[in-house]
């Protein structure tokens, strides 16, 4: 188990089948912060590097977090739980993109190094919904509309007595 360095030499990580795991504060992810209600909290992660036929390597990326989002309906903050388990294939040439497995995402490698924090952040950005919605939210206005409809007398009830 190793702490997360700023950048990693991909060939050494793949050949050594290294595992990096731990946690990182959300505030260190500048691109993700723009999508959130606030930058409080931390993210748990695990990145395990492996060899991959025809590719520079691959990694099993696991991320767990509770992200604070603003519900588009209620405009209230809520916690959005995220559990990610994905496989990332590393490429440095678009010709290798065809070698990726169907369930594998591509990650670009420059000069033999990768930035693991960027990989984690990319996964979280993909997990944030375009329109955040708190499924536990109850819309009070719809509930009031139902109550009003129930209190009104049915105009056809009079016809029932005419039979």
Residue 32 DSSP code: H
Tokens of 126: 């993909």
Residues forming beta bridges with residue 59, ordered by sequence position: 49, 88
* pLDDT score of 1: 45
pLDDT score at 42:
95
Give this prediction's pTM: 0.79
What does the pLDDT profile of the chain (163 residues) look like in tens digits? 455 899 999 999 999 999 999 999 999 999 999 999 999 999 999 999 999 988 999 999 999 999 999 999 889 999 999 999 999 999 999 988 888 988 999 999 999 999 999 999 999 999 999 999 888 765 555 555 545 555 667 766 667 766 6
Q: Which two tokens stand for residue 143?
A: 């509930």
Tokens describing residue 116: 């693991």
Show the tokens assigned to 77.
């903050």
Per-residue confidence (pLDDT) for residue 23, from 0 to 100: 95
In whole angstroms, how far apart are CA 138 and each of 3, 68, 134, 135? 42, 18, 9, 8
- Neighbour count for residue 22 (Cβ, 10 Å): 14
């Amino acid at each position: 188990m190793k702490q997360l360095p700023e950048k990693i030499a991909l060939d050494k990580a793949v050949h050594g089948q290294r595992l990096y795991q731990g946690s990182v504060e959300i505030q260190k992810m500048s691109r993700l912060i723009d999508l959130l209600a606030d930058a409080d909290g931390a993210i748990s992660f695990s990145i395990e590097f492996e060899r991959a036929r025809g590719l520079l390597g691959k990694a099993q990326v696991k991320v767990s977090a509770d992200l604070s989002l603003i519900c588009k309906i209620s405009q209230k903050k809520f916690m959005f739980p995220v559990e990610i388990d994905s496989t990332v294939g590393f490429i440095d040439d678009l010709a290798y993109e065809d070698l990726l497995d169907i369930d594998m995402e591509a990650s670009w490698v420059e000069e033999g190094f990768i930035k693991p924090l960027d990989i984690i952040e990319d996964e979280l950005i993909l997990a944030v919904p375009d329109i955040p919605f708190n499924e536990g939210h109850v819309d009070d206005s719809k509930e009031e509309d139902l109550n009003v409809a129930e209190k009104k007398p049915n105009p056809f009830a009079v016809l029932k007595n005419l039979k």
